[in-house]
Structure 1
């Protein structure tokens, strides 16, 4: 099971590190999402037994090793090509999302069919992402995250965006990286990680602040997420679909949030080839789920 969980974590990291589909969506597509959420909940819950915590920790460590390796590889590669190839990469993200939506509908058919009044939650999800994107507080100017530019205001901003982003990363729907892109922190965080890996420690304090926000987000959202999935699954699935649909708009507007803003993606800059590649990856992941289920 180590290899299987390593692969699962690796693909989650690839999703978490790029705007488009969240790691939670990948966990959902690969069929281990509920196990992932229950394991996180067992670690943060005081009601979990020692045996439950141990079992959950072992599972998450296996997953985490794959996640760390996948994330670092993604950061090293993406930091050098993201801004230059933003339109091609965004086309891949669109392929991810468009192909993932029908798969989520198929997998959660029992939560959707006959419960169409909950479509209001889909509309809410679309409006949430559209509003966040439209009222993007970064103004497209980006941020400098080195120690020379660190302030209390910037630190608080990074902390709370970290909380929000990790909440999205564990929730199937909008990607946490998409939210970082919306809030103007995606490229700065990617560059900060790359610089820290080069032993440029001036970026380390802001990454620690971001990491504390991530931890706070996990602790605060996991128990709530487990509760609503168990008691309001249909509403949550409809909301997730709305978030995914809304994230299409966020990805199209993503180039405007770069440190050097570019025009939103248009039909002229959209690449059908890279869109197909993105869709093919999602299809391959679904086939990988079938393979895992036979193990």
Structure 2
């Protein structure tokens, strides 16, 4: 989940969805905020185990991506495209009941796609070209954090894709790496992102849970629309760097990295089914 959350394209929610514990993840977060004490303790145990792995994975991802994202943007973007393309059929396969035959909800797919494309086209990154601490940038970063965490918990759009559209992805990634080396000069970026994340969780979690429980077909079509549109956001990603590069084209596309992204998602799906068969064998024994 951390590796997915740290790159634009696939959200950590998608990985949780593919591995089969997404509903438990959302319910545990909701219970932690609104459940009774006994339920809170059970949810907390699950989230601590999940969070421990997430922190380790995120720090590893930052160590690998912070520099490579700027020096190898087209290779990384090709990798992200592979993540998304390979994830689409898996999400469809897991949610056939909510998607197949529910064609009246197709407009929600267009809505989800339109929202993400609009955010990408607005290209907020130009607003933080000379990023410095001020009341405006503080509010801007908090709002971006609120939207990013809302996206991260959905099995579709990546919060990192939104941070890329807001021009905050590379600064946030670089700041985390600076902190790992004892440099706190830009720590305020992460502080205000964290504030936005906490506010976003409180505001969005209940709505997301209710949407998935009561209006799952509409939610799934919206998620699929956002996933498809995230391909466009990734292609445009190089234009959001602090020193903008041209958008990805067929000439700058790297097929080997794309295949690697597809293979990574396929490996995760294989792991899920292997674990299910193993658990089923233990139950029968």
- Which bin holds the TM-score, normalised by the shorter protein? over 0.9
Match of 1:281 in 2: 264
Match of 2:236 in 1: 253
Whether the aligned pair in 1 keeps the contact of 2:125 and 2:164 (CA below 8 Å) is no
Match of 1:156 in 2: 139
Matched position secondary structure for 2:185? helix
Whether the aligned pair in 2 keeps the contact of 1:140 and 1:261 (CA below 8 Å) is no
Cα distance in 2 for partners of 1:62, 1:126 equals 34
Whether the aligned pair in 2 keeps the contact of 1:141 and 1:261 (CA below 8 Å) is no
Count of matched residue positions in the alignment of Structure 1 and Structure 2:
278
Instruction: Give the alignment partner of residue 54 of structure 1, picking from 41, 44, 64.
Output: 41
Report deviation, 1:292: 2.5
Matched position secondary structure for 2:245? coil
Report deviation, 1:29: 0.5
1:17-96 alignment, distance < 5 Å = 17-45=6-34, 48-96=35-83
1:182 and 2:165 matched: yes
Report deviation, 1:143: 4.7
Taking structure 2 as the reference length, the TM-score comes to 0.95
Query: What is the RMSD computed on CA atoms of the aligned residues?
Result: 1.1
1:134 and 2:121 matched: yes
Gaps of 5+ in 2: 280-285
Instruction: Give the alignment partner of residue 216 of structure 2, picking from 221, 227, 233.
Output: 233
Gaps of 5+ in 1: 1-11
Match of 1:106 in 2: 93
1:204 and 2:187 matched: yes
Instruction: Give the alignment partner of residue 199 of structure 2, picking from 203, 216, 219.
Output: 216
Report deviation, 1:36: 0.1
Whether the aligned pair in 1 keeps the contact of 2:150 and 2:204 (CA below 8 Å) is yes
Taking structure 1 as the reference length, the TM-score comes to 0.92
Whether the aligned pair in 1 keeps the contact of 2:212 and 2:219 (CA below 8 Å) is yes
